[in-house]
Amino acid sequence: MLRIKNLVVDHGAIRALHGVSISIEKGQLAAVIGANGAGKTTLLRTLSGLNKASDGSATWGDLNILHSKPESLVRHGISHVSEGKSVIPELTVAENLDLGALWRRNRKEAAQSKREVVELFPRLGERLSQRADSLSGGERQMLAIGRSMMSKPQLLLLDEPSLGLAPLVIEQIFQSIRDLTTAMGLTVLLVEQNAMGALKIADIGIVLNLGSIAASGSAAALRDDPAVRAAYLGF
């Protein structure tokens, strides 16, 4: 389980997170929603080791995840798909996927992961030898998630997978994320501005506002709470 306690993160003089505490049980899909600038990206980047925390703690099982490097957290099952279709456009689809499993010693298992990803996203399987910059926005997001799955993660950190995608594609991506979580027994921290879409697939929801938690609870309860709807969901 993921336990975040009083997490404080600064970007120079700007405090982005003011003591955030979040608990997620194993196998849960948690949606962190909030407007642009709320601190969602900062939260994920700190959990994956890209940003430094100023105060607080975060543990995944027995593992203390603050003060670790991203490349070693991956080896402990924590995988972060960063904001904005995080693929490498100059590489082929197959190379982007392979990249996620290069660190794995067991090549047979890595090949097995690749078969699973291609099964999950058949569109990627048809385009393995194409450069990633030839893919559509939705396919790139699939590739980014697929690369992350290549590292056989237990905790998946997803930063706005719906960003810049068409409504129909967003629905597909959200559905894939829900299916993945259940099928693989993943724990997922999904960060989204698309609050309604994220709360529909999530088990629990957390509303982040200007670096602090404004509300949290079961996703269904948050969706139905009139105060939360009016103040943070905008519908």
Partner 1 sequence: MFEFVNTLLIGITAGSIYSLMAIAIVLVWRSTRVVNFAAGGIALASTFVGATILETTGSFWIALPVAMLAGAALSAFIEYFFLRPLLHRSGERTQEIFLPIIATLGILGVMKALLHFIYGEKIGVISPPLSDKGFIVSGESIALSPLRLMILGIVLVLMIGLTLIFQRTNLGLSLRAASFAPEISRLSGIRVDLIRTLGWAISGAAGATAGILQTVNGSGSVTPEAFEFSLLLVFGFVAAVIGGIESLIGAVIGGLTLGIILAIILMYVGGSLVFFSAFLILILVLLLRPHGIIGVKGGRRA
Residues that bind partner 1 (CB under 8 A): 48, 50, 69-71, 74-75, 79-82, 86-91, 95, 98-100, 102-103, 147, 150-151
DSSP code of residue 220: H
Judged by beta carbon distances under 5 to 8 A according to partner kind, the member of Mg ion, ligand ADP, partner 1, none in contact with residue 161 is none
- In DSSP terms, 15 is beta-bridged to 10
The only residue of 28, 41, 96, 151 in contact with ligand ADP, by rule CB under 6 A: 41
Q: With left for phi above 0 and alpha for psi between -120 and 50, is residue 142 left, alpha or beta?
A: alpha
Q: Which is nearer to partner 1, 78 or 213 (CB)?
A: 78
**Total number of residues that touch ligand ADP (CB under 6 A):** 12
Shortest Cβ distance from residue 150 to partner 1 (Å)?
8
Sign of CA dihedral 10, 14, 17, 19: positive
CA atoms within 13 A on the CB side of 102: 8
Judged by beta carbon distances under 5 to 8 A according to partner kind, the member of ligand ADP, partner 1, Mg ion, none in contact with residue 7 is none
Judged by beta carbon distances under 5 to 8 A according to partner kind, the member of partner 1, ligand ADP, Mg ion, none in contact with residue 11 is ligand ADP
Using alpha carbons, list the distances in angstroms from residue 30 to 74, 125, 132, 172.
20, 29, 29, 18
Decide: is 152 part of the binding site for ligand ADP (CB under 6 A): no
Residue at 163: amino acid letter: L
End-to-end CA distance of the chain: 32
Q: Which residues bind ligand ADP (CB under 6 A)?
A: 11-12, 14, 16, 34, 36-42
